[in-house]
Amino acid sequence: MLAVENLEVVYEDVVLVLKGVTLEVPRGQVVALLGANGAGKTTVLRAITGLLGVHRGSITKGSVRLDGAAIDHLDAPRVVAAGVGQVMEGRRVFAEFTVEENLRIGAHTAPGGALRAGLDRVFTLFPVLADRRIQLAGYLSGGEQQMLAIGRALMTEPAYLLLDEPSLGLAPLMVQRIRDLIVEINQQGTSILLVEQNAAMALSIATHGYVLENGKIVMDKPAAALLDDEDIREFYLGLR
Ligand code: ATP
């Protein structure tokens, strides 16, 4: 299990952005983390992946544990090595490198022999990337770049995958496609923490969901219960 407990995070030593966040991603599950802009979702992911320091943030209280072992003192490469992969917001691919080079970069910390297996897995999961393996990543469509960003994170065979807004800026059909791929990746055994503004998409595949508001978890329920919740329906799903 990936467990975040009572986490407090500050930026620049002053701005308290997470105010005691507790959440769990049990093995095998898809867990959704919802919340408005600025609620602190990306900060939760940075705290898990060891990337807070890059953004002048730090953990002032609480812990992040992976199968019981604390990982909150590890730097980003060690978190990846421990089995947590991540796709940052904005699907940052290396535009001037080819599709295959992007995937190879993702595998540079993987053990020898894993590269071939990783490429095979990603190209099977995303045939469109196999077709474009020698094309520059910058020329891919937004949806294809998102697939490449996810594929790159899969190259280290993470047990847990953190996805930051994978549907952002994509057309509805592509959102559907990414959704189906997340389900498939999960069925292959990868546990997923899915940060999304698209609550309908996220809750349609998650088993459990959390709602973050202003640095605090204000709801913590099975996804089905969140879909039924009146506030969620009104504020996150646009239904009444
Ligand atoms: P979004 O969906 O807009 O990305 P979010 O829920 O992911 O929002 P965060 O990006 O975690 O929210 O930001 C939470 C708060 O922390 C915001 O008020 C933001 O302005 C602030 N923040 C983020 N990064 C920094 C930083 N490096 N220094 C100072 N404040 C920051």
Nearest CA to 18 out of 32, 4, 1, 3 is that of 4
The CA-based dihedral angle spanning residues 221, 70, 161, 76, taken in that order and rounded to the nearest 10 degrees: 140
Residues of the chain predicted below pLDDT 70: 91, 109-112, 238-240
Q: d(Cα 220, Cα 240) in Å, to the nearest integer?
A: 21
Determine the pLDDT at residue 82: 94
Q: Is there a contact between 144 and 173 (Cβ–Cβ < 8 Å)?
A: no
How many residues in total does the chain contain? 240
Output the CA torsion sign for 179, 216, 92, 115. Answer: negative
Distance 104 CA to ligand 1 centre (A): 30
* Reported pTM: 0.93
User: What's the chain look like in SS3?
Assistant: CEEEEEEEEEECCCEEEEEEEEEEECCCCEEEEECCCCCCHHHHHHHHHCCCHHHCEEEEEEEEEECCEECCCCCHHHHHHHCEEEECCCCCCCCCCEHHHHHHHHCCCCCCCHHHHHHHHHHHHCHHHHHCCCCEHHHCCHHHHHHHHHHHHHCCCCCEEEEECCCCCCCHHHHHHHHHHHHHHHHCCCEEEEEECCHHHHHHHCCEEEEEECCEEEEEEEHHHHHHCHHHHHHCCCCC
Q: In this structure, which residue's CA is closest to atom 30 in ligand 1?
A: 11
ipTM of the complex: 0.94
Closest-lying ligand 1 atom to the alpha carbon of residue 195: 7
Distance 177 CA to ligand 1 centre (A): 28
Could you tell which of 43, 89, 164, 196 is best to mutate to test the pocket of ligand 1, judged by most ligand atoms within 8 Å of the CB?
A: 43
Distance 42 CA to ligand 1 centre (A): 7
